[in-house]
Structure 1
Amino acid sequence: GLALGHRISVILLALAVFLSSISLVPFITPSFFPKVDTGDISIRFRLPEGTRIEETNRVMEAILKDIDEVVRPEEMRHSYGFDGETKEGVGVALGFDQGPNVGSIGFKLVDRDKRSRSSDEIAAALRERVKSIPGLNKIYVRAENAITSILMGGGKPVSLEIQGPDLGQLMQFARRVKSLMEQIPGLVDVEISQKDPRPELWVQVDRKKASDLGLNVATIARTLRNYFYGIEATKYRDAGDNYDIFTRFTERDKNRLENLPEAPLFTPDGRMIKLKNVAKIIQGQGPIEIQRKNRQKIIKVEADTYGRSLGAVTSDLKKALSKLGVPIGISIRFGGEVEEQQKVFKDLTILLIMGIMLVYMVMASLFGNLRDPFIIMFSVPFAFSGVLYAFYLTGTTLGIMSFMGVIMLMGIVVNNAIVLLDYIHLLQKRGKSLSEAVTEAGRNRLRPVLMTTLTTFFGMLPMAVSQSVGAEAWNPLGITMLGGLSVSTLVTLILVPTIYYMLERRKVSR
């Protein structure tokens, strides 16, 4: 009755609540998927190209020593580490970065409820500790299992894809972007995907001299491969068993650089000449790999996040990039989780709109008109208001799980308004006046509405406040549901009957 006597005040108050929640939008940052503390921490490092495996082992031991000092004994469960590469190249085929200058370390912590520090905090402490080890070219410390990282693509959350025709120009611009990203708070382990060039020996064949002797580049290359790498010459069979016969120089001769120009070559007529007579040996550098996308060279500048959400660091990075001049012929775009987030949010937005439309269509078929569903739909904007308030007060980001919670709310928040409005219609059919029907419906349906809301509220409460292992994945969903239900219920009990009274009274007066 009080609300019906102060209808304008109720409308203005509801409008103030809605607008105040909209003002919180700039403070809400998007994210992709909640990060779960599984207790896995992986460290990957890379030394300059050409580094011997012995030096890699020394760095590995230094990192393991730092781990023992940073991680408390009661926090550690088990650990592993390896460096170098497999002979068959299985690790590279599976997506692991391998080589004599590459190492990887991983360890598993005890469950989250048995330690005081999170895996992100331990990873941050290790990151500060190991980056001072001399000789490191790249190092990557992340609170994630290495195998899981590879299966998910092996990339970092923030990835800038720089494309262009000239690799040297791309590298020069990528270094500028890397320096820029290192200055943005919340971005850590910034690195360039393009590996440093490795030392090489180039054999430049004098094609005219070689042709005069009956040789060609393919023949010379095949002969040198036989000497220094080896080839399978034939097989030896004995009692049903096969043995490969592999021919090459001895270990001492093949590892001596001075033997390369002295390598013997045999002409078709049986003469022997030395390699230095038909070729020059030049020391140089060459890229390990050249990445391409859509037939264009591409270099990625990637970074991990710590202490800030993905949306917050992305927003700061976009502002910084807008002030950075992009050279002609070079394009730059976001990849990684930022790109995936945009795709998922676009799909979820379409689903949200479809959900609202379907809810309205179902109510229109139930009430047999378009006006009553329109009144009930006033509960929906205030569900958004409750979500925004909950996000702001708890520091929750808008990710996949919370977005799914918003979609779920569209079908839940209208239930109480449907019950209330349907009972008002029933009382009017029984001969009650408009004022009596609205007032009595609000009084008689208060308990059912509150019971419905509270059962859902307390059912979601453990999901929202749980601190158990893996709860980080479900906390945003619970917080979203609690915030939307709380505010929407209050609006349903006051605003919806008031709007119905105003529209129905206007209809009767006509």
Structure 2
Amino acid sequence: MISRLIHWAVASRLVVLLLALALMAFGGYAFVNVNVEAYPDPAPAIIEIIAQFPGASAEDVERQVTIPLEVALAGMPGLDTMRSQSMFQLADVRCQFEYGIENKDARQEVLNRLTQVALPDGVQPVISPESPTGEILRFTLTSPKDANGRDIYTLNDLKSLLDFTLERRFRRVPRIIDMGSYGGTMKRYEIRPDPDRLRRYGISLAQLENAVAAANRNVGGQYITQGQTVQVVRGLGLIGMGLDPMEGALAQTDPVAAAAYLRSEENKRIREIREIVVASVNNVPVRVGDLVEGGPLAANDPLGVDGVVVGFQSRLGRVMFSEPVLDANGAEQLDSAGARVWRDHDDVVQGIVLLRKGEPSLPALADVHDLVDQLNNTPGALLPGVKIEPYYDRTGLINMTTETVRENLFHGMALVGIVLLMFLGNVRTAVIVAINVPLAVLVAFAALYLRDESANLLSIGAVDFGILVDSSVIIVENIYRRLTHGDDSSLTVKERVLHASTEVQRSLMFSTAIMVCAFLPLFTMQGPAGQIFRPMAHTYAFALGGALLLAVTLSPVLCETLLANVKPKPDNVFVRWLSRSYQRQLKLALRYHFVSLGAFVIVVGLTMLLLPFLGREFMPQLEEGNIYVRGTFPLNASLDEASDRTRRAREVFKKYPEVETVVAQVGRPDDGTDPTGFYNVEFYLPMKPHEDWPIPPGMTRARTKEEVVDAMSDELDAAFIGINWNFSQYIRDGVMEAMSGVKGENSLKIIGPDLTQLEAVANDAAAKLAAVPGVIDVGVFRIMGQSNLSFAIDKEKCARWGVAVDDVEDALETAVGGKAFTTLVEGERSFDLVLRWPESFRSTREEILDIPVDVPANVTPPGGEPQVAATESTGPEAGMSVTGAAISLPSPLGSAESGGTNPLNQAPRRRLRDFVTPLDAAGRLDAQGSFVQPGASTIYREEGRRLIAMKFGVRGRDLGGAVAEAQQALAPVIKPPLAAEWSGEFEQMEQAEQRLKLVVPLSLALVIVMLYLAFFSLRDVAIVLANVVTLVCGGILALLVMRTNFSVSAAVGFISIFGVAIMNGLILVSSIHRLRLGGHTLEEAVMEGSVARLRPMLMTILTAILGLLPAAVSTRIGAQSQQPLAIVVIGGMLMSLLLNQHLTPVLYYVFRRKPPSNDAASLAE
């Protein structure tokens, strides 16, 4: 087939050239328009379900929400692993599906199951839009300052603008699935009733709720017919008429005026709420203002902070942002001590733009940038003076990594061109070979574009140009040698080109097929390794196939066109010198063949001895240009306490001149998309370009990133005793958390049913794990330690007073947490309207125990005696102020002091303490027990089993060795019925290695079969495979010398040189066979065949080395993941250059004395 293709190409020279031009045009178009990612997404479809259960403890969330969700979601088709977290008022369930399941299919399956789950009232499970690599842009909303330097807009204003305006705009951007928010406060309107006033007027909380809710709604009255027209009948009763104050503010041009307008509109609604009539006493209306803290206000009285106020929902997190102060020229300002001056923003509103899984990021980012520019520059799009300021943009990382690839490609191609020119000594010949490199790359880009696949750092940067030019080197070198040596001079140039091309076509076909077999492990990788390296395998296959096609079509055509007037001439001086030197060396090697064989044995033996010292890891870290730091404070830390500690840690990071900005996140977003508590703080530290890093005093160079991280870690450990810190990178942190379910690069999960036992064992295990050399940042994800103020409802006490449990719980829920009973509509925005006791009634345990509870079902008639005696703690049974005061409250005009017209005034009022009983250590009612109970902070589950997780990192040592030693150290600690599972990067490495152990031998067996079909001789197969052994030894020794761990990236390098080694050995052996069948003696055939193949073999070796040399030595962002591959290729090829040029001829000379058959020589025909 290849022979016919070559004949067609030479006969259709114009068609081939036109097709090459078309390839250049379309390939160039694809090169410009194909999507490029910095790193492939290694995660499968992960669907995260979030359910918020306001006010519920971790134990209640687990029992009532998490377990029902797990039961409903179990058994879904393609479900691989289910993990969950239950914490204060939040359940988070992550369903990880098998690779190959489409994200949309998994999402739909989850949605179908969610319709079948029964959860407590008010709990609505939703699917999180986030994905491990989906965050492509983060920004903050900045408020303008007034004359005193204070923010003009409130956090409520900015949060409302973000959630109700910007989120909807960003979600309309193609490929964007959602926009999350973090920080700020969510506005709500609060009615703070005064219990004494409610009692005085005989108004219950239910009456107050119903009255306000009834005064806040619109109704429809169908329609009426007016002549030939229809008019819709509406009743408009919404508070504020449902109008949106934000619209009026957006129309302003002055920030101060806009903020004043918003405050005035809020005040109008507050006054309107105060005027709502709840009841009527003696024809005198009782309004909300009469019942709230502070009492009624006159029309002109200013609104205070009591009664009815604009507040915000309970905060779950906070975002802080710090940036250096710049002067007019954009340079950083320094203080008198030479330190940078920083501007701190202690409470900002942050937006997170999320990419739909599987969508290309560059087009999406371009559209997002356009929208940001439009919003920032269009009057009325944002509040006056407010700006969207991105601080994280995936475009920067993509541009930096692609620039690294382009730089390595350019340098590699230049070096390859120099090698070709050195060996061929003819510019036109070198151009013919070199032109196949960019054209083969364009073939790959065209295929990626047509398949709608993305290119990335690994898939493009790992392509070795030396391998791409191998096929064209073999054909063009053979044509050039035939033309310059005067072979077949009686034939025309066209005939000589055809003869020289077809002469090597069979060996070329076999070697290319074998190379494809060598790449089979890449195509069969599964899991994270498959997600990462399968695109590279596709790209390699496209480029390799394109190179072969170009070698048998375009190369012969260009040779016929450009080399038609080449005259017979000897090789250039350099090649002649190499040939003479090689001849002398080869004669000595054949004469003293035991030396070459001994060297081979020594290399193999040395490699086997050193192999145990080769470290293992999954993948070298892709340098993202940032540091992501995670700290864990005490579990019961409040938001304010965690924020104070965060500010202290922020000061540590601001000392480092390598850090560009400091962004801190405390707690979690309001929507629960990042399940954690106030104890969790995360710092995003974008770094300056490395060339801008200063040289510290006492050093002669800038610090490495590892040195910066070590210094930060030491300083944080000294400043925060007992606090655990973890260092990673932004994307990597998210991917590792998604894959293992734990916030850390590696994790150990201890599985068991008892939370207390799990935490005790984890503490022992953590101490032993931290003692393992190389293991750092050990931390236990605590599951206990969140104290609960538990008020157990005593049903006997409730029965004594005729009170339902629900009545007591409703009073507790409303008083402390606030109960949302209706919604205030403002245009397209909606905000909760809640009832909540004033803070003076709910700040301490004793104040909560004094919360009044009405007892309307147990009325003591006038003059009667109560059946339950008054106590010192509860006071008299009736007519008592909740504060214990005996002073009568003022009565509304015309009402009676006794309030006898309202039965509630006659009902005895008790307090919460009359209906609750403390608990003992076992959780049973016990009057001598305590209301303060230890409780769970976060309950982790996986596959329906409870667990405790420990995270750790490895620095200064290989991951595999560190975990192996840790497993031995922890074996005596974790005993049945407990079980241990190691997750994260180590688990992925183990899975990839197990897969390679299975697939690589199968691939090798297939290669052996093909080699046998090529030679029909096991000895020939063994001679060729010996070439592979030396290259593998060279790659291993190179990793050891460069102190680089074995990783999947390095394994890809071994696979790459595997095919090249077999191709070189196959062509050399077949060339010797042809000479022996032509009548040459064994020694003559070995000498002549080896010398004849010297130039093409050296060219393939050197081009392979130089093609990846820039990647091996590059220190730019993105080069780290290429370096193990490049080191292996260069080391293996150097070993081939030093040893195999002599080893293969010697092995043939010693072990292939018997003449080959005609079938064995057919490759050279």
TM-score, length of structure 1 as denominator length: 0.89
Say if 1:326 and 1:457 are closer, same or farther in 2 by CA, change over 3 A.
same
| 2:1106 aligned residue | 458
Do structure 1's residue 286 and structure 2's residue 864 form an aligned pair? no
Q: Report the equivalent of 2:685.
A: 107
Matched ranges for 1:52-131 at <5 A: 52-69=638-655, 71-72=656-657, 75-86=658-669, 89-90=670-671, 93-95=672-674, 97-99=676-678, 101-115=679-693, 116-131=702-717
Cα distance change on mapping 1:345 and 1:215 into 2, 3 Å: farther
Which runs of structure 2 are paired with 1:376-395 in the superposition (5 Å)? Answer: 376-395=1024-1043
- Post-superposition CA distance 1:162-190 (Å, at most 9, x none): 11222222211111111112222322221
Inter-CA distance 348–203: structure 2 relative to 1 (3 Å threshold): same
**CA distance in 1 between partners of 2:1095 and 2:1029 (Å):** 24
8 A Cα contact 1:38 1:111, kept in partner: no
Match of 1:160 among 748, 757, 774: 748
Q: Secondary structure at the match of 1:35?
A: coil
Deviation at 1:237, TM superposition (A): 7.2
Greater Cα offset, 204-213 or 122-131 = 204-213
Distance 2:1051 2:969 in 1: 28
Decide whether aligned partners of structure 1 residues 157 and 252 sit closer, same or farther in structure 2, where only a CA change above 3 A counts. Answer: same
Partner of 2:878: none
SS of the aligned residue for 1:389 comes to: helix
User: Could you say what the CA RMSD is over the residues aligned between the two structures, in angstroms?
Assistant: 2.7
Identity %: 24
Q: Residue in 2 aligned with 1:19?
A: 605
Letter in 2 for 1:302: K
Q: What's the offset of the Cα at 1:129?
A: 0.7
The question of 1:190 aligning with 2:773 is answered no
Aligned to 1:144: 729
Instruction: Name the CA distance, whole Å, in 1 between partners of 2:1148 and 2:708.
Output: 57
CA apart distance, 1:252: 2.6
Q: Following the alignment from structure 1 to structure 2, what is the Cα–Cα distance between the partners of residues 30 and 309? A: 5
Does the C-alpha gap of structure 1 residues 137 and 219 become closer, same or farther in structure 2, counting only changes over 3 Å?
farther
2:631 is matched with 45
SS of 1:329's partner is coil
Quote how far apart the aligned CAs of 1:433 are: 1.8
Q: Select between 8-17 and 376-385 the one with higher mean Cα deviation.
A: 8-17
Distance 1:163 1:109 in 2: 39
**Cα gap change, 1:261 to 1:141, in 2 (>3 Å):** same
For 1:278-317, what aligned pairs fall within 5 Å after superposition? 278-281=915-918, 282-317=931-966
Q: Deviation at 1:506?
A: 5.1
Q: Is the 8 A contact 1:165 1:329 kept in 2?
A: no
The aligned runs of 1:232-251 (5 Å cut-off) are: 232-235=820-823, 244-251=832-839
| Distance of aligned partners of 1:361 and 1:139 in 2 relative to their CA distance in 1, 3 Å threshold | same
Instruction: Give the Å deviation of 1:242.
Output: 6.8
- The whole-number CA distance in structure 2 between the counterparts of 1:422 and 1:124 is 56
Provide closer, same or farther for how the CA distance between residues 126 and 229 of structure 1 changes in structure 2, counting only shifts above 3 A: same
Cα pair distance change 1:33/1:448, threshold 3 Å: same
Q: Could you say what secondary structure the match of 2:788 adopts? A: strand
Which residue of structure 2 aligns with residue 274 of structure 1? 911
Which residue of the partner structure matches residue 448 of structure 1? 1096
Structure 1 range deviating more: 293-302 or 498-507? 498-507
| Aligned-pair CA distance for 1:335 | 1.5
- Indicate the SS of the match to 2:749: strand
Structure 1 residue 332 corresponds to structure 2 residue 980: yes
Greater relative CO, 1 or 2 (CA 8 Å, sep 6+): 1
Tell me the secondary structure at the aligned position of residue 378 of structure 1. Answer: helix
Which deviates more, 228-237 or 407-416? 228-237
Provide Cα deviations, 1:25-64, integer angstroms capped at 9, x if missing partner.
1110001111233331233333324434343333222222
Post-superposition CA distance 1:430-489 (Å, at most 9, x none): 111222211221222222211221111111211111222222221111100011122234
Residue 24 of structure 1 aligns to a residue whose secondary structure is helix
**Deviation at 1:215?**
4.1
Q: Deviations over 1:50-97 (max 9, x none)?
A: 43434333322222222233x12xx232222243554xx22xx32253
Corresponding residue for 2:1054?
A: 406
- The answer to whether the 8 A contact 1:189-1:303 is kept is yes
Label 1:217 to 1:197 Cα distance change in 2 as closer, same or farther (>3 A): farther
Residue type of the partner of 1:330?
L
Partner of 1:3: 589
Instruction: Determine the structure 2 residue equivalent to 1:366.
Output: 1014
Relative to structure 1, is the Cα distance of residues 485 and 285 closer, same or farther in structure 2, using a 3 angstrom cutoff? same
Contact in 1 for aligned 2:755/2:784 (Cα 8 Å)? no
Q: Cα gap change, 1:82/1:167 in structure 2, threshold over 3 Å: closer, same or farther?
A: closer
Contact 2:726-2:744 at 8 Å conserved across structures = no
Q: Equivalents in 1 of 2:1136, 2:956: separation in Å?
A: 32
Contact residue 113 and residue 468 of structure 1 kept, 8 A = no
Name stretches of at least 5 consecutive residues in structure 1 with no aligned partner: none
Tell me the number of residue pairs that the alignment of Structure 1 and Structure 2 aligns. Answer: 497
Aligned-residue offset at 1:349: 3.1
Quick check: 1:198–1:286 contact (8 Å CA) kept in 2?
Answer: yes
Moved more, 60-69 or 487-496: 487-496
Alignment partners' CA distance in 1, 2:829 and 2:1023: 85
Contact between 2:749 and 2:981, CA under 8 Å: does it hold in 1? yes
1:234 positional shift? 3.4
Contact 2:1052–2:1125 (CA under 8 A) maintained in structure 1: yes
Aligned-partner residue type, residue 280 of structure 1: T
Give SS of 2:1087's match.
Answer: helix
| Structural mapping, 1:481-496, within 5 Å | 481-496=1129-1144
AA aligned to 1:97 is: T
Greater mean deviation of Cα atoms: 400-409 or 305-314: 305-314
TM-superposed CA distance for 1:10, in Å, is 3.3
**Does the 8 Å CA contact 1:163/1:332 hold for their aligned counterparts?**
yes
Q: Residue type of the partner of 1:78? A: T
Partner in structure 2 of residue 344 of structure 1: 992
For the residues of structure 2 that align with 1:235 and 1:302, how far apart are their CA atoms? 43
Contact residue 123 and residue 141 of structure 1 kept, 8 A: no
Tell me the distance in 2 between the aligned counterparts of 1:479 and 1:36: 16
User: 2:909 aligned with 1:321, yes or no?
Assistant: no
Note if contact 2:625-2:686 (Cα within 8 Å) is conserved in structure 1: yes
Q: Does 151-160 or 474-483 show the bigger shift?
A: 151-160
Q: Residue by residue, what CA displacement relative to the aligned partner does 1:341-376 show, whole Å, maximum 9, x if unpaired?
A: 100122233332233233333333333554423321
State the one-letter code of the partner of 2:820: E
Contact 1:37 1:119 in 2 (8 A): no
Matched residue type, 1:478:
A
Q: Deviations over 1:310-332 (max 9, x none)?
A: 2232233234234x343342222
Distance 1:444-1:304 versus aligned 2 partners, 3 A rule: same
1:449 match: secondary structure: helix
Inter-partner Cα distance in structure 1 for 2:808 and 2:1071: 94
Residue 205 to residue 407, structure 1, CA distance change in 2 (3 Å)? same
Contact 1:50 1:198 in 2 (8 A): yes
Asked whether the 8 Å contact 1:464–1:475 carries over to 2, the reply is yes
Change (3 A) 1:191 1:235: closer
Which residue is equivalent to 1:229?
817
